[in-house]
Amino acid sequence: MATLQDQLRGLVYSTEHGDICPECRAPLAECRCEALADEQRLAGLDGIVRIRRETSGRKGKGVTTVSGVPLAEAELKALAKALKKRCGTGGSLKEGVIEIQGDHRDLLKAELESRGFTVKLAGG
């Protein structure tokens, strides 16, 4: 008898199971792709949070990026929200990197160090 994975191969929706994950072909309720990706991201970190200012690809607009934060996705999202509020500006969270609009390196360094992270200013 074929396994559930074999039966769902090639499907994007099943009336029995609902939406199907395109990566692992499991029903979305049973999919672990996000959790595995988050675990891999955390395993590759060295424990140092790096803060840098970037303008590339943003039409000259500067953003401060915070990378290497050893937190799970949900906690990282909450940290990004707190940092944006602390800086009084907007920003986003993309692939484990927090982007804050404007140059706030010193403020972010002080805030992250007060939260117990090892912080290094990277780049120019």
The average pLDDT across 9-36 equals 76
Strand boundaries in the chain, DSSP class E: 13-14, 18-19, 48-54, 63-67, 91-94, 97-101, 118-121
Q: What predicted TM-score, i.e. pTM, was given to this entire model?
A: 0.73
Query: Which residue in the block uniquely carries the two structure tokens 């099943």?
Result: 14
Q: Which superfamily, per CATH, for 47-121?
A: SUI1-like domain (3.30.780.10)
Cα 49-63-109 angle, rounded to 5 deg:
35
Confidence of residue 28 (pLDDT cuts 50, 70, 90): confident
Give pLDDT tens digits for 54-98: 887 777 788 999 999 998 889 999 999 999 999 999 999 998 899
Q: Does residue 123 surpass a pLDDT of 60?
A: yes
Please state the domain extents for the chain: 17-46, 47-121
